[in-house]
Amino acid sequence: MSDPVRADGRRSDQLRPLRFQNGIAPHATGSTLISFGHTQVICGVTIDEAVPRWMQAQKITGGWVTAEYSMLPYSTLDRKARDISKLKLDGRSQEIQRLIGRSLRAAIDLEKLGSRTVWIDCDVLQADGGTRTASITGAYVALHLALARLVSEGKLAALPLRSAVAAVSIGICDGVPLLDLAYTEDRDATVDLNLVMNGAGEFIELQASGEESTFSEEQLAAMLKVGRTGIQELFAFQRQALATVSA
């Protein structure tokens, strides 16, 4: 099948325009505003010089990384009520923030982090598909910035990072794998896949599901091929965003 013409003119294997604006939240230890096309997420990292009580109680050494995710009320066409107004965390938000936490814990050596808790906050300013993958990709940059600051302040001897982490969405529309889905593509896709990988080319997480449909091993392989290419481009963008950071 020939390469389809997408609504925004991209090729099937092309990312949306990507941009990082570092230092967007001055009171955070590290922060960036990541833009994947029209999707925009503020990723901020703060550091607590202590670990959670459950780690203390179980005498677990090292540090911890945890994440929170939210969509601001004006991030979608119709106002999205804040979770606090419902007195409970939205199930989707809970699942996404757990994914972000798992993904970023894979990036860091928790023993070398020391007895600290890293809080990663991802707040969606504008949603046009791929908010979870944008959050993960941006959170790594914010995490790197925060840890580099600890090194510059003499609180860490070296960056306790194992590898970069990035994520991207892939979907099948009209039988063709498409990279980095915008909202309308995500809505119409028969198969959705969120791919999280590290800089060593290893998988951290795969979230693949058919939308009232199924997919074959060949289709999965095709989605992974497109996804890997996109992930490598994301690593290059991350390196560029961090090029002026010492440590």
Residue type, 31: S
Look up the CATH architecture of domain 18-241: 2-Layer Sandwich (3.30)
- Which tokens in the block code for residue 128? 């046009």
CA distance 207 to 204: 10
Confidence class for position 90, pLDDT limits 50, 70, 90: confident
Distances (CA, A) of 189 to 96, 171, 246: 20, 6, 42
The reported pLDDT for the residue numbered 6 is 87
Diameter over CA atoms, the chain: 59
The reported pLDDT for the residue numbered 42 is 98
- Which tokens in the block code for residue 187? 């809505």
Phi then psi dihedrals of residue 113, to 5 deg: -65, -30
The reported pLDDT for the residue numbered 212 is 80
Say yes or no to pLDDT of 83 above 80: no
The reported pLDDT for the residue numbered 87 is 58
| Helix (H) or strand (E) segment spanning residue 244 | none
The reported pLDDT for the residue numbered 74 is 77
The reported pLDDT for the residue numbered 129 is 93
pTM over 0.95: no
The reported pLDDT for the residue numbered 246 is 60
3-state secondary structure of 196: strand
Digit-coded pLDDT (tens) for 214-224: 999 999 999 99
3-state secondary structure of 236: helix
Say yes or no to pLDDT of 121 above 80: yes
The reported pLDDT for the residue numbered 77 is 78
Say yes or no to pLDDT of 247 above 60: no
Average model confidence (pLDDT) across the chain: 92
Residues with Cβ within 8 Å of residue 203, at least 6 apart in sequence: 195, 196, 197
Look at residues 171, 143, 131 and name the one whose alpha carbon lies nearest to residue 36: 131
Digit-coded pLDDT (tens) for 150-189: 999 999 999 999 999 999 999 999 899 999 999 999 999 9
The reported pLDDT for the residue numbered 172 is 94
CA dihedral 57, 48, 43, 73 (to 10 degrees): 80
**What are the sequence ranges of the domains in the chain?**
18-241
Window from 39-43, 71-75, 202-206 with minimum mean pLDDT: 71-75
User: CA end-to-end span of the chain, whole Å?
Assistant: 47
Residues with Cβ within 8 Å of residue 13, at least 6 apart in sequence: 179, 226, 229, 230
Task: Say if CB 103 and CB 196 are below 8 A apart.
Answer: yes
Residues with Cβ within 8 Å of residue 15, at least 6 apart in sequence: 36, 168, 179, 180, 230, 233, 234
